[in-house]
Structure 1
């Protein structure tokens, strides 16, 4: 009875549009009240969910992304990307994807990517002759690269849930992220040729060097973060602080976009975003504890493995579950609730935990661009001032492209495992 109330309450609140954290919290409260369970379990489980050292990365990387947006770092990344590929048919679309790939090496969040790149590229592409829905769709689709290429907030969550090295998870996402970016560039070019989208004037060597020199400090930030983690100079948590300090210095003294008047707003946005994420993590942990106490994860694992123990079939089922959940639930909440249960199923058919972690994150990132709760779709449609349905239709070719990459990552473990095994040993 109680477990039925838990799920019904959660689904009803989700369907009426309540924020996911409140859906999880109110549904959990209803279960505890009906089950006559002491409400002291709420602060205990919430605190246990956020009392994880590696989660300290999150505020640091959120702040780094905010500093980038205000400090004019994003614009320099976009201009450099455009100088490199703008002369190709659909060049601004290619620059959009390239900018997201570079930006993702710093912020690690898809929504920050969609907002910052989108505010520059969507109006710019529309002025240059691109369909506005296409510009928004490219922005939303390419923003999902952010949490795949390191650093990545969802990868941090995976590490905190499973005890997997966050450094290994970061490295495991590098090649899938690059593969995703290349596949999107191919899709952009194909659509641009078919639709006759414009191309920019080829940048001269002098212009290319000028833009490269201008973007050097932004590009160096990605190198510092990755080399520092891989080389053992600092932990992912320390890397997030280094990224924030670096973005503050570069944004203030080099690109001169940050000053005392907007620094307060940056800090406020960082605190609000970090606090909402931590509340979500805490409430999702409470919801997950209830599911575990009712042995729902074990029942799910038994059901899947009872249906088939063929690895190919099980991996397909796992993908379908994650894609479905990702279309309705926020990424971090979905990871906290589902990942521990599905990890047992994945390892039961021989999947490496790191391989499954990358696959799970990629699935849920695709969910950010699918209705009805595709957060990145809402962001870009808001920036472009157009109905979300138009963007949802325009993003279909990119969803097909992303699903093709997902199948490759799912069934070719070496794509995820080769780099961490090479650099950190098996």
Structure 2
């Protein structure tokens, strides 16, 4: 009788637990559907607003002064809600090299620890995010004349939803012991850092190594998403070693995620999906494969050349890669290319094409250092060719034994017919670039021209447009964009923390005193900006160090345009080099490839880029030979 009663109680408890789990799953699904639909709507409205601005200004000559302001507001909401979608789907970029090599029990623990660590950050900053939004409520936007709270509240809403999603994801884990152990470990680590606060006060700049090198590395290799790894380290440094209010960190996070030029990222990601869906990608690939498919490594050469052609049109290297990847990667994979090899080459081309005008980094250098932007545009073409040839050499070495026995050479007549079919698709990069160069659209708006052009070609030329795929593509775009933007936002906050530490001015003073004159200064600049590029990205690093270091370069007789090229390439190599380069993880996110897969393939390309960089640094004519 007692046994039966106990059994009945156990069954009832199990039924109640099962009912609770089903309820949580329904709640998770409900949140997911609402947020995904909001993301899709925000992206559509942003495209309509920006394209309307182009038409009103260039066709009707009646500029919409509020279009950029509204687009920036929509973009912050899209970034935060997209981050929620990415977290719910487990699509935030992270390093899995260590997790993939441990046993099932340790893997389960590290996976759960990554979730509890991310949740800890969200819970720690949610109040500061609310305070930041409240402070912004006193601001009235200049063009729309509305309360800025409508924009700023995206931060606490997004962070709060991510916290809820994190809790629901933990509730899905059946092993309560693993969840408890991970939560305890997270709490113990947080408590340990808090108790060590008096020690940090006496360490000075050693704290930079502790928080921005050691702690970042531990988080990254433990499987904590890259964005949250950066955020936890920045939060820890500011909270435990400075008196900075956390509301300031929220302001830097907002600044990094709402910069209007970065709106090109989701728009170009969506453009890439449209190119594939409308059949433009297939037509372009058939032509390119017919043209170079019979050459060993032919499509890899096409990738290098394509990045050279489209680079700079959006102002964002991530957006450039988003426009290329859906076109080339599927066909390259059909021919046996490994995903790791593809992502390695893509990241390398991102670094190679940093100086192609109209690059936003070139414009930034000109604006903060006084160097002629026209001279920078002229000087950036040939150095990129040098690095491109270095990458082509690596492709030739790796593909010289490629088996082409199954690839048939296409006749000239067939190639010509393929060109006619692919011409509308081949013209797209030139339409986009011409729109920027001729002043039809800004670097942000130009992606909407590409979207409208692609939709028209798909509907009226190729007659292939699957309306059922539009909403899933919009949601995928939002998820991927949210993952990328959160990384950039957290990296911006980390860059600001490094600046406030006084690290930048001390570094400039050290570099000016390096022995070896101009050669020594150039060498230490390369090393320094590779390191800086991996944590600061191009624009923050230029803003911080450009005004300090360019006068030193002039005094040493280094031409400012040549020094600009060296600095940009060095930062590009750092930006796209693992394990810290944000651009590398952006390339992995664009390609849907695990970061660990590209690790062993990328170093040959990095070595080629370094050799090309040394050549550019040693031969000034490559940068200044075509200047008037």
TM range (shorter): 0.7 to 0.9
Q: 2: CA distance between counterparts of 1:139 and 1:42?
A: 32
- Greater Cα radius of gyration, structure 1 or 2: 2
Distance 1:411 1:273, change over 3 A: farther
The TM-score normalised by the length of structure 2 is: 0.54
Deviation at 1:298, TM superposition (A): 0.4
Alpha-carbon contact 1:148-1:177 (below 8 Å) kept: yes
Contact kept in structure 2, 1:89 and 1:189, CA below 8 Å? yes
- Deviation per residue, 1:287-306 (Å, 9 max, x gap): 33333333210001001112
Q: Which residue in the other structure is 1:339 paired with?
A: 542
Check conservation: 1:83, 1:202, Cα contact below 8 A.
Answer: yes
Q: Does 1:25 align with 2:231?
A: yes
Q: Give the direction of change, closer, same or farther, for the CA distance of 1:370–1:150 in structure 2 (3 Å limit).
A: same
The CA RMSD measured in Å over matched residues stands at 4.1
1:106/1:89 Cα in 2 relative to 1: closer, same or farther (>3 Å)? Answer: same
TM superposition shift of 1:207: 1.3
Take 1:71 and 1:163, find their aligned partners in 2: how far apart are those partners?
Answer: 44
> Who is 1:300 aligned against?
507
Where 2:294 maps in the other structure, the secondary structure is coil
> 1:101 deviation in Å?
4.3
Match of 1:16, SS state, is: helix
Q: Which residue does 1:242 correspond to in 2?
A: 449
Q: Does 1:222 align with 2:400?
A: no
Conserved? CA contact 1:77–1:103, under 8 Å: no
Distance 1:191 1:57, change over 3 A: closer
Question: Any unmatched runs of 5+ in structure 2?
Answer: 1-199
SS in 1 for 2:445: helix
Q: Equivalent of 1:124, from 321, 328, 334?
A: 334
Deviations 1:208-258 (A, max 9, x none): 112222222222221122223223333323323322322333345444564
Secondary structure (helix, strand or coil) at the match of 2:529 reads helix
Pair 242,346 (structure 1): closer, same or farther in 2 beyond 3 Å: same
Q: Distance in 1 between matches of 2:409 and 2:434?
A: 33
Give the 5 Å matches for 1:14-413: 14-17=217-220, 18-34=224-240, 35-49=242-256, 52-102=259-309, 104=311, 108-109=317-318, 112=322, 115-116=325-326, 119-126=329-336, 138=345, 141-142=348-349, 144-145=351-352, 149=356, 173-193=380-400, 195=401, 197-198=403-404, 200-255=407-462, 258-308=465-515, 310-324=517-531, 329=534, 333-343=536-546, 344-350=548-554, 356=563, 358-367=565-574, 370-373=577-580, 374-375=584-585, 388=597, 392-412=599-619
1:113–1:295 CA distance, 2 compared to 1 (3 A): same
Name the residue aligned to 1:10: 212
SS at match of 1:181: helix
* Number of aligned positions between the proteins: 410
Q: Distance in 1 between matches of 2:459 and 2:610?
A: 40
Any conservation in 2 of the 1:145–1:177 contact (CA below 8 Å)?
yes
Q: Does structure 2 conserve the Cα–Cα contact (< 8 Å) formed by 1:67 and 1:248?
A: yes
Q: Which has the bigger relative contact order, CA under 8 A and spacing at least 6?
A: 1
Q: After superposition, give the CA deviation of every residue in 1:75-129 in whole Å (9 maximum; x if it has no partner).
A: 3333322222233344344344445545657674365368535641442222xxx
Shift of residue 349 of structure 1? 0.6
* CA distance 1:179–1:120, shift in 2 (3 Å): farther
CA contact (8 A) 2:436 2:446 kept: yes
Structure 1 residues 77 and 65: CA distance shift in structure 2, 3 A: same
Aligned to 2:115: none
Using the TM superposition, give the Cα deviation of residue 190 of structure 1 relative to its aligned residue in structure 2, in angstroms.
Answer: 4.5
